[in-house]
Amino acid sequence: MQFHLNGFELTGEKSPSSLKENSSPLELPSEVDVLIVGAGPAGLTLAAQLAACEDVKTCIIEETQQRLSMGRADGIACRTMEMFNAFGFAERSMREAYWVNEVAFWSPSNSHSREIVRSEKIKDTEIGLSEFPHVILSQARVHDFFLEIMEQSATKLTPHYSTVLKKLKVDTISNNLYPVTVQLERAAANRKSKLQTIRCRYVVGCDGAHSIVRREIGRELEGDSYNKAWGVMDILAITNFPDIRLKTIIRSAADGNLLIIPREGGYMVRFYIELEDHGYKEKLKNKKIEVEDLIKAASRILHPYTLDIKEVGWWSVYNIGQRLCQKFDDVDEEAECDTFPRVFIVGDACHTHSPKAGQGMNVSMSDSFNLGWKLVSVLRGQASLSLLHTYSSERRAVAKELIDFDREFSRLFNTKTSLNSRKLIEKEVVDPERLQSYFVKHARYTAGVEIQYNQSLVVGSEDNQNLAKGFVIGTRFHSAPVIRVADMKRIQLGHTITADFRWRIFIFSGAVNSEAGLAKIMKLGEFFSVSNSSPVKLFTPADGDIDSVIDVRVIFQDIQDTCLFEVMPKIFFPQKGKYGLHDYEKIFCSDKSDNNDIFKLRQIDRKNGCMVLIRPDQYIAKISPLDNTSETFEFFSQFMIKQSRAKDKTTTIGSRPIRNKFNIS
């Protein structure tokens, strides 16, 4: 898709007319379950999740006057694209975005030259790392996609613009259903501000590096508050630089460094320009840098190539350091046994780093994706309050690891070819294996797939990792193709994990080329269908579909291993909805074409098979043997709350009674 040809356009595909103007609702509610402060990527990711819940009253506020229309972050990691697919707009993003396929590296032709030459080209992302690409797409478009989801949801959730949080207080003494009181200031039509108080069950601060929510709960960003000054600009330009449509890292001899990010539309590019080496210290100190300064700096770095900028769509100058909060909620570590969080901070409010690793927006949205399902599970009475502690512990560990990586990457990126640092560069050049492994590691961080959560309430031990070595416990579920048996359609198994707050249990069959092998799968299916210790039966509300909390699916090794739908346990062939219609999309087999066999790709034990438990945020929680149902029950029992449900006296598949066929209690 091409656009921006005759000047900067706000979007490639037009948004619904309802998003073009400020459609902020008129009145703020007096009480809410969740107040989201900030309508940036983190806030809108969380809001889009909660908007689907008619039983959760949500409010989102934003201090700016209207939705974002241009600029800011643009890199979308492969892992984030997987998340976008769960929300339903990955295909739209890919159609409009720039795909990052290769990265070019440029450096001085020699240690004293002001001329740059290409030194290397590498693949941006390892083949097979994800079914989705690393793409570049305006943050404003990402906002639009989430706003559309909110607009089209059952709750019609819309941000309250021109609204600022002033004060926040948590009642830790009384047993108050709405323990958090916030005072908001909202701009009125007559330009006079209006104060309003809202009582909340939970507050989530997605309000950036200068977070008021963070200040109100007494948290501070700690670390290097100042790294280096960088300028950024989106431009339409004519140049003879050959790699202008590739992601490019340029290190000059004396004029600093430049990161080129091609933008969507085929014409626009973004420049990140290091400003420390351009004699701008006084201007930076007095905040008097102009866009002309950025243009001059970029032109010097690109020498001997020319740069003729026709239009600047957006530009900014900023200082970013690597900083991190001690906790991402309002409960101190020593109080975690007795107190549960009521206020959370997300994204830049609790961690900041440089833009060079391309993780800011991605990590922020992942924070929200981690928190959203936990909040909903607790608010619906499906999970214990202890689940909320896992947000800070999981996401802070991720942020710390990324900041440590970003600090090292920034050090290498900022290394100059001066006499004092030449030895460092020469050492890395003569050690190609170390350099290559570093950039492979960088690519995985950029892709967002290096995250691995530690063992916790919602991440099991690695005891059974050998049953599926390619599904690493604590990492995101790495999708692979399968065949849906009902219609023989080839699909990505991971695409069945949508942003709907449900747990998934994928049952991968063992060897079933015998009656006993098939009986093992049938027995497991009937356990989930009828057993008194089945987590599906115990934790699903009486008025919910059988898969409304835990969605169980089976993947056979071959199509001939499967049996007729009418003799399948009801967990694999359930009747759902008000009409009791059958769901035909729970049974799969491996796709043997073109080396797509999921059992081979993910190193699943073909003899024994296994169960893979996947969290609502698409991360692998546990792997269990097919015959160890008690282990699965015990895992869910740690944090989930038993639901009241009418006891089945007889369960049928078609017209056959199946209770106790395999002596299931």
- Single-letter code of the amino acid located at 310: K
Determine the average pLDDT of the residues in 323-349: 95
74/140 Cα distance (integer angstroms): 9
Is the pLDDT assigned to residue 510 strictly greater than 90?
yes
Q: How many CB atoms lie under 10 A from the CB of residue 114?
A: 14
User: pLDDT, tens digit, for every residue of 521-579?
Assistant: 999 999 999 999 999 999 999 999 999 999 999 999 998 888 888 889 999 999 999 99
At residue 424 the predicted structure's pLDDT band, cuts being 50, 70 and 90, is very low
369/227 Cα distance (integer angstroms): 29
Average pLDDT along the chain? 87
pLDDT at 661: 37
User: pLDDT, tens digit, for every residue of 251-306?
Assistant: 888 888 899 999 999 999 999 998 865 566 666 665 778 999 999 999 999 999 99
26/19 Cα distance (integer angstroms): 16
Among residues 121, 123, 83, the alpha carbon closest in space to that of 99 is found at 123
Strands 343-345 and 193-205: parallel
Among residues 35, 320, 288, the alpha carbon closest in space to that of 170 is found at 35
At residue 516 the predicted structure's pLDDT band, cuts being 50, 70 and 90, is confident
> And the tokens for 293?
């300064």
Determine the average pLDDT of the residues in 364-371: 97
What is the b/e burial string over 456-473, where b = at least 16 CB atoms within 10 angstroms of the residue's CB?
bbbbbeeebbebbeebbb
Percentage of the chain modeled with pLDDT above 90: 66
The DSSP string of 484-530 is ETTTTEEEEGGGG--SSS-EEEEEE----SSHHHHHHHHHHHHHHHH
Is the pLDDT assigned to residue 428 strictly greater than 60?
no
At residue 394 the predicted structure's pLDDT band, cuts being 50, 70 and 90, is very high
90 CB-side CA count, 13 A? 20
Determine the average pLDDT of the residues in 96-109: 92
Q: Which residues are catalytic?
A: 74, 263, 272, 355
pLDDT at 356: 62
What Cα–Cα distance (Å) separates residue 664 from each residue in 541, 646, 650, 661? Answer: 22, 18, 13, 7
In the three-class reduction of DSSP (H, G, I as helix; E, B as strand; rest coil), residue 43 is classed as helix
pTM score, two decimals? Answer: 0.91
380/374 Cα distance (integer angstroms): 10
Residue that wins the pLDDT comparison between 314 and 490: 490
What is the b/e burial string over 400-436, where b = at least 16 CB atoms within 10 angstroms of the residue's CB?
eebbebbbebbebbbebbeeeeeeebeeeeeeeeeee
Q: Are 3 and 12 in contact (CB under 8 A)?
A: yes
Q: How many CB atoms lie under 10 A from the CB of residue 517?
A: 16
Q: Are 86 and 618 in contact (CB under 8 A)?
A: yes
Among residues 209, 248, 172, the alpha carbon closest in space to that of 352 is found at 209
Is the pLDDT assigned to residue 648 strictly greater than 90?
no
| DSSP secondary structure letter of residue 565 | G
At residue 411 the predicted structure's pLDDT band, cuts being 50, 70 and 90, is low
Give the residue carrying structure tokens 């070019």. Answer: 104
Strands 257-262 and 269-274: antiparallel
647/659 Cα distance (integer angstroms): 12
Is the pLDDT assigned to residue 466 strictly greater than 90?
yes
pLDDT at 4: 86
Q: Cα 261 to the chain's mean position, in Å?
A: 21
443/125 Cα distance (integer angstroms): 6
Among residues 271, 446, 452, the alpha carbon closest in space to that of 360 is found at 446
At residue 657 the predicted structure's pLDDT band, cuts being 50, 70 and 90, is very low
> And the tokens for 285?
């100190």
- Single-letter code of the amino acid located at 447: A
465-657 CATH, one of 1.10.760.10, 3.30.70.1290, 3.40.30.20, 3.30.950.10: 3.40.30.20
Q: How many CB atoms lie under 10 A from the CB of residue 609?
A: 27
User: pLDDT, tens digit, for every residue of 8-23?
Assistant: 876 555 555 455 555 5
User: pLDDT, tens digit, for every residue of 158-171?
Assistant: 999 999 999 999 99
Determine the average pLDDT of the residues in 55-64: 96
At residue 517 the predicted structure's pLDDT band, cuts being 50, 70 and 90, is confident
648/531 Cα distance (integer angstroms): 10
Is the pLDDT assigned to residue 232 strictly greater than 50?
yes
> What residues pair up with 133 in beta bridges, in sequence order?
none
At residue 654 the predicted structure's pLDDT band, cuts being 50, 70 and 90, is very low
Q: Are 528 and 536 in contact (CB under 8 A)?
A: yes
The crossing angle, in degrees rounded to 10, of helices 422-429 and 432-447 is 90
The DSSP string of 104-140 is EEEEESSTT-S-EEEEEEEESS-TTS-SS--EE--HH
pLDDT at 14: 54
Among residues 206, 209, 446, the alpha carbon closest in space to that of 322 is found at 209
CATH 3.40.980.20 for the 228-320 domain, yes or no:
no
Among residues 497, 221, 195, the alpha carbon closest in space to that of 350 is found at 221
In the three-class reduction of DSSP (H, G, I as helix; E, B as strand; rest coil), residue 561 is classed as helix
25/179 Cα distance (integer angstroms): 25
pLDDT at 518: 86
Any idea what the Cα angle at residue 229 is, between residues 228 and 233, rounded to 5°?
135
Determine the average pLDDT of the residues in 482-494: 97
- Single-letter code of the amino acid located at 145: F
Highest mean pLDDT among 101-115, 219-233, 365-379, 516-530: 365-379
Among residues 452, 457, 478, 326, the alpha carbon closest in space to that of 388 is found at 457
User: pLDDT, tens digit, for every residue of 155-205?
Assistant: 999 999 999 999 999 998 888 999 999 999 988 766 678 899 999 999 999
Q: Are 576 and 546 in contact (CB under 8 A)?
A: yes
> And the tokens for 117?
């030459």
Q: How many CB atoms lie under 10 A from the CB of residue 521?
A: 24
Among residues 205, 73, 134, 619, the alpha carbon closest in space to that of 398 is found at 619
List the domain boundaries for the chain.
23-97+137-223+323-403, 228-320, 465-657
23-97+137-223+323-403 CATH, one of 3.50.50.60, 3.40.50.720, 3.30.565.10, 3.30.70.100: 3.50.50.60
User: pLDDT, tens digit, for every residue of 595-622?
Assistant: 899 999 999 999 999 999 999 999 999 9
268/98 Cα distance (integer angstroms): 10
- What HEC string does 151-193 produce? HCCCCCCCCECCEEEEEEEECCCCCCCCCEEEEEEEECCCCCE
Of 13-27, 265-279, 338-352, 474-488, the least confident: 13-27
> And the tokens for 214?
């963070």
Exposed / middle / buried, residue 93 (Cβ in 10 Å: 0-12, 13-18, 19+) = buried
Of 84-88, 201-205, 290-294, 454-458, the least confident: 290-294
At residue 357 the predicted structure's pLDDT band, cuts being 50, 70 and 90, is low
pLDDT at 360: 82
